[in-house]
Amino acid sequence: MHNNETHKVPTMADGRKDASEPTGPIEHVIIVGAGLGGLRSAQQLRQIGYCGRISLVGAEMHLPYDRPPLSKQLLAGEWEPDRVYLTDAEALTSLGIEVYLGKPAVALRPGEVELTDGTVLRGGAIVLATGAAARTLPGQPEHVFCVRNLDDSLRLRAALRDAKSLLVVGAGFIGAEVASTALGRGMDVTILEAQPVPLSRVLGERVGHMCARLIRESGVDLRTGVSITRFVDARDCPVSVELADGSLVKADVAVVGIGGKLNLDWIGDIGIDVSGGLLCDSAGRVLGLENVWALGDIASWRDETYGAHQRQEHWTAATEQAGAVARSIVGAEPPSATTPYVWSDQFGYKIQVIGRPDLADSLTTLHGEGLSGGPIRSTIIGYFRTGELIGVAGFSAARRFSSYRPLLLKRAGLDQVRQFAAASDNAAPEATIYDI
Ligand SMILES: Cc1cc2nc3c(=O)[nH]c(=O)nc-3n(C[C@H](O)[C@H](O)[C@H](O)COP(=O)(O)OP(=O)(O)OC[C@H]3O[C@@H](n4cnc5c(N)ncnc54)[C@H](O)[C@@H]3O)c2cc1C
């Protein structure tokens, strides 16, 4: 039924059309990228009543699946692949979503998308949600793993089965999660990190040092400020890397987790700079392209709260942006602004970060003793910019952490935040304010 009907773009109450809305009815929405953001966009469109045609194009043969478990439950063997899928073929059919799997888009032109098999889809709205691929090191051998997609995770899981040692390159969230999973399987784990302090760009140096302590105290050999010069062919072990000081680090299995490379090469030269992601307005419309929206890892949305463009490579961002994109396509009221949120499960901790700690000029402990060298568990850090709460990071403090969301949303001042902390148990005994 969905395919035969056409959604009429709503008009403004007084009959004028919003100049930013597409003109005429949108008969067909083409969504490129059948991952989290792409699937949620399609589902949201149906949920808000769009009954035109929806095509969902995916590069992989898999139905849309979730990525967070790839470095956690799936890799650990706690989950089987059937648990990571976000939907099934029947549900997609019942929503009238046409799915093109294993057919990556190879070209974007005004109003149309070409797939690798020559199929050309034409539509009034195009949504781009192609995510990122794993970034690799120069000269990275084939048998060195990355964890970006379902097949990567399953291959690594099989390789870890008989391995005794793991080398992880990169101490970001994904690298640390893979290390944590391997440690849980009783392996010797080494992490090599190029930065002197892990996560310092996201959480600041002081909290980055605490994260390094968390990793080391868990039993990982974390080496920071090291650079790899090359992979070496070694007879005595499967992986060997040479560091800048000439030393070798060897392991049975190696994983490189040094971030992502945006899947945007396929769109070719479309007359806009895509090197830092697709610049979008605060509803996901790509600036400089007619009737094209983008979301998720590849999209740098205008953040009205902080007045700048920001790309967020987080699960919650892709999910929330899908709702905003769907509403923008049909010309509905935008949802209320959201706050960036990311979590990571590692070494028995749940790390949660909300807001924009990267924009802070100072920070202070609100609960716990992690920053002063004590137990990290239950520590909550408040990040401030010009005296206003701009971000919060929690370390296995989920319940109390979420109580800071309202204060963050209203950009509460330092004194109010401290009073709030002091009113609950486990408030920080010292309240030094540190420069970031
Ligand atoms: C291992 C791992 C663990 C993570 N853990 C967390 C976590 O704990 N917390 C958190 O907040 N975030 C986490 N993330 C990040 C989160 O999963 C991503 O931010 C989110 O999936 C982004 O959604 P997306 O739709 O932009 O991209 P994706 O979900 O990556 O989907 C993009 C899809 O587009 C497809 N595609 C690429 N090119 C083309 C093309 N040319 N044509 C058609 N299709 C194409 C890809 O195959 C892919 O399926 C994790 C990511 C990974 C990889």
Give the integer Cα–Cα distance in Å for 6 and 389: 46
70 within ligand 1 shell (Cβ under 6 A):
yes
Domain boundary (235, 259, 283) is at 259
Q: How far lies 253's CA from each of 75, 179, 250, 326, 376, in Å?
A: 14, 11, 9, 43, 30
Same domain, yes or no: 201 and 246:
yes
Q: What is the CATH number of the domain that holds 153?
A: 3.50.50.60
Same domain, yes or no: 25 and 114:
yes
Same domain, yes or no: 124 and 102:
yes
Question: Does residue 174 form part of some domain?
Answer: yes
Higher-confidence position of 13 and 124: 124
| Closest approach atom of ligand 1 to CA 64 | 49
Tokens representing 126 are 């195009």
Is the per-residue pLDDT at 42 higher than 70? yes
For 104-113, what is the mean pLDDT?
97
pLDDT band at 24 (very low <50, low <70, confident <90, very high): low
**Residues 360-405 pLDDT 10s:** 999 999 999 999 999 999 999 999 999 999 999 999 999 999 999 9
Give the integer Cα–Cα distance in Å for 402 and 372: 23
Question: Does residue 339 form part of some domain?
Answer: no
Asked whether the beta carbons of 190 and 182 are under 8 A apart, the reply is no
| Closest approach atom of ligand 1 to CA 60 | 47
Query: Per mean pLDDT, which of 18-27, 298-307, 308-317 is the most reliable?
Result: 308-317
Whole-structure pTM value: 0.93
Q: Whose CA is nearest to atom 38 of ligand 1?
A: 130
Is the per-residue pLDDT at 15 higher than 80? no
Q: Whose CA is nearest to atom 26 of ligand 1?
A: 296
**Residues 304-329 pLDDT 10s:** 888 889 999 999 999 999 999 999 99
Same domain, yes or no: 254 and 285:
no
Higher-confidence position of 21 and 292: 292
Rounded to the nearest whole angstrom, what is the distance from the C-alpha of residue 391 to the centroid of ligand 1? 24
Domain boundary (241, 259, 277) is at 259
Same domain, yes or no: 306 and 423:
no
| Closest approach atom of ligand 1 to CA 312 | 19
Question: Does residue 394 form part of some domain?
Answer: yes
Same domain, yes or no: 8 and 127:
yes
Looking at residue 234, its pLDDT comes to: 79
Same domain, yes or no: 125 and 140:
no
Q: Whose CA is nearest to atom 49 of ligand 1?
A: 35
**Structural domain count, the chain:** 3
266 within ligand 1 shell (Cβ under 6 A):
yes
40 within ligand 1 shell (Cβ under 6 A):
no
Question: Does residue 342 form part of some domain?
Answer: no
* Most distant CA pair in the chain, distance: 76
DSSP assignment of 22-45 equals: PSS-B-EEEEE--SHHHHHHHHHH
Rounded to the nearest whole angstrom, what is the distance from the C-alpha of residue 67 to the centroid of ligand 1? 6
Q: What is the CATH number of the domain that holds 422?
A: 3.30.390.30
Looking at residue 429, its pLDDT comes to: 59
Asked whether the beta carbons of 96 and 118 are under 8 A apart, the reply is no
320 within ligand 1 shell (Cβ under 6 A):
no
Q: How far lies 87's CA from each of 82, 139, 152, 231, 278, in Å?
A: 10, 37, 20, 40, 27
Same domain, yes or no: 382 and 313:
no
Domain boundary (224, 259, 294) is at 259
Q: Which domain holds residue 366?
A: 348-435
Question: Does residue 26 form part of some domain?
Answer: yes
